[in-house]
Amino acid sequence: MTINLLLVDDHAMVRRGLQVFLSTQPDIKVIGEASNGREALERTADLNPDVILMDLHMPIMDGIETAQALRISHPQVKVIVLTSFSDQDHVLPAIRVGIKGYLLKDIEPEALVVAIRKVHNGQVELHSEAASQLMNLMAISTLEQLKLNTSDPNGPNTTPAAITGLELLTPREQEVLDLIALGMSNKEIASKLVITEKTVKTHVSHVLGKLNLADRTQAAIFALKGGYNA
């Protein structure tokens, strides 16, 4: 199946470089370009892309505003942010408006292609730094909720329901889950645990299968909601 892609960036050289590289992929077709958010909305209405690869900082209408508008007008279109910023002030607003991918511009070309395919297939793809920002926010929120529940004797049960299922994991798989929740990539986990990246991928696959989760982002959220990494 061909993935119809729209490129949105205010720098013509960036669009050109992406277009040249992505055109080498047999399953990805760049069907249009836009230099700002307003143009992106117009091109989306005309071309109906499957995926939009978009910068955040653009004139006239930035990436956050554009993603928010697309969520209303074209909810079926999946948006991937490709930016230079990984701080909380950029990551969290993007996630709140429904982006399905948050990648940094230093990403390896092959990894970009993999991310586009994953997002097209319904998965969420976050750079490890972006995932870390999200996990930190959720960890703070979870901790505050647990403190609130503990301080209220009539409050809800303080044992998180999401903890159920962790007992299915081996000690090594629990270690991997813990590191996923910290936003680490497979390569970083392999280095941390002194194992091969292939072994990490196997552990991640087992964790997802045992917990019935779609991807590592869901696994990280599961771990934090379960209090495992709190």
Domain definitions of the chain by residue range: 3-126, 130-225
Average pLDDT over residues 145-172: 57
d(CA 187, CA 200): 8
Residue 177 near residue 224 (C-beta atoms within 8 A): no
5, β-bridge pairs = 30, 51
User: How are strands ordered across the β-sheet holding 101-104?
Assistant: 28-34, 3-8, 51-54, 78-83, 101-104, 125-126
Q: Residue 146: its pLDDT value, please?
A: 47
16, β-bridge pairs = none
d(CA 9, CA 208): 35
| DSSP label at residue 163 | G
Candidate CATH numbers 3.20.19.10, 3.40.50.2300, 1.10.490.20, 2.60.40.10; the one for domain 130-225 = 3.40.50.2300
Say which CATH topology domain 3-126 has: Rossmann fold (3.40.50)
Q: pLDDT tens, 62-89?
A: 999 999 999 999 999 999 999 988 777 7
d(CA 61, CA 41): 10
Question: Do the domains 130-225 and 3-126 match in fold?
Answer: yes
Please tell me the pTM assigned to this model: 0.61
Instruction: Please enumerate in sequence order all residues whose Cβ is within 8 A of that of 161, keeping only pairs 6 or more positions apart, or say none.
Output: none
Q: Which of 156, 164, 170, 151 is nearest to 223 (CA)?
A: 164
Q: pLDDT tens, 199-228?
A: 999 999 988 888 888 888 888 777 766 544
Annotate 80-115 with three-state secondary structure.
EEEECCCCHHHHHHHHHCCCCEEEECCCCHHHHHHH
- Select the more confidently predicted residue: 17 or 144: 17
Q: How many CB atoms lie within 10 A of CB 167?
A: 8
d(CA 188, CA 175): 13
Average pLDDT over residues 152-159: 50
